[in-house]
Structure 1
Amino acid sequence: MFKRILIVCVGNICRSPTAEYLFRHHLASAGVSIESAGLGALVDKPMDPTALEVLGDHGVDGVAHRARQISASMLRDVDLVLAMEREHVNRIARLAPEASGKVMLLDRWNQGADIPDPYRQSREAFDHVYSLIDRGVNAWLPYLRVS
């Protein structure tokens, strides 16, 4: 059973917090701890305004988010790490080799594709990335719900 999940991207202001808050929305009563962090986090920054708007348009509030930098101890303390890109998986493995076995792509149950970074792009790019993240989150839910 995965009780503590960490979601990782680069800046921790677009993709990983979007996934974090979507998971929290779906798993609110499941007793699962969902957090996010960045490989090059914009520490203490809120979600990107466009990412926050897109999330809000889907009924999820991410206004409380503040970006955090990933650490080896964070990786050791969680049961599952979900990354947005293969390169993130590789970087996490270099940071904490002992955590490698619990690091997977968010898109694992779909095509196993990288989810691109929409930072500083159009609203359409954010909408597209949201749809990819939503698809990834929904594919993970059957594996995370408590029976």
Structure 2
Amino acid sequence: MFKHLLTLCTGNICRSPFAEACLRQQLETAGRDVRVESAGIGALVGHPADEITRRLAADQGLSLEEHRAVQVTEDHVRRADLILVMEPVHRQYLLELSPSARGKVFLLGHWSERVIEDPYRRSESVYQRVHEEIRQGVGEWLSRV
């Protein structure tokens, strides 16, 4: 049983905060006591979640108002039982940062062999598609965590 999950993207303002919120909501609904965090490999440290991400999340009953971007550290990797990343480059970054992460870093879209692209500064329709892909990925992982 996993007790600590980490979601990871690039800037920690679009994909990973939304994935964190989705996972947290679903795990709480299921009565699971799992800590969920998010970070970025090139985080815009201290920045809030992207405006479109916040608005679309709010439309789904998720608040990202308190989120502030953080840079992933070796400590994040060490604490996490499972790390869900959006793209293969994120996995590669983590393995270079901390080779001990091997075996606990997977794509969020692993089960459907999906890479979740970065919507930053793209159209709202891209954000909507990315949010749906994240929700699907979260759903695919829920029975496994």
Q: Give the TM-score range, shorter chain.
A: over 0.9
Q: Residue 72 of structure 2 is aligned with which of 54, 70, 73?
A: 70
Q: Which residue of 1 aligns with 2:83?
A: 81
Corresponding residue of 2:3: 3
CA deviation profile, 1:66-87 (whole Å, cap 9, x unmatched) = 1000011210111000000011
Residue pairs, 1:1-147, within 5 angstroms: 1-28=1-28, 29-110=31-112, 112-144=113-145
TM-score normalised per structure 1 = 0.95
1:107 Cα deviation (Å)? 0.5
Give SS of 1:101's match: coil
Gaps of at least 5 residues in structure 1 are none
- What TM-score do the two structures reach when normalised by structure 2? 0.96
Percent of residue pairs bearing the same amino acid type? 43
Question: Following the alignment from structure 2 to structure 1, what is the Cα–Cα distance between the partners of residues 71 and 118?
Answer: 17
Aligned length: 143
Q: Which runs of 5+ in 2 are unaligned?
A: none
In 2, the alpha carbon distance for the partners of 1:101 and 1:50 equals 33
Q: Secondary structure at the match of 1:143?
A: coil
Deviations 1:93-132 (A, max 9, x none): 111001111000001112x221000000111110010010
Give the partner amino acid of 1:123: E
Task: Give the root-mean-square deviation of aligned CA atoms.
Answer: 0.8
Counterpart amino acid of 1:26? Q
Deviation of 1:31 (Å): 0.4
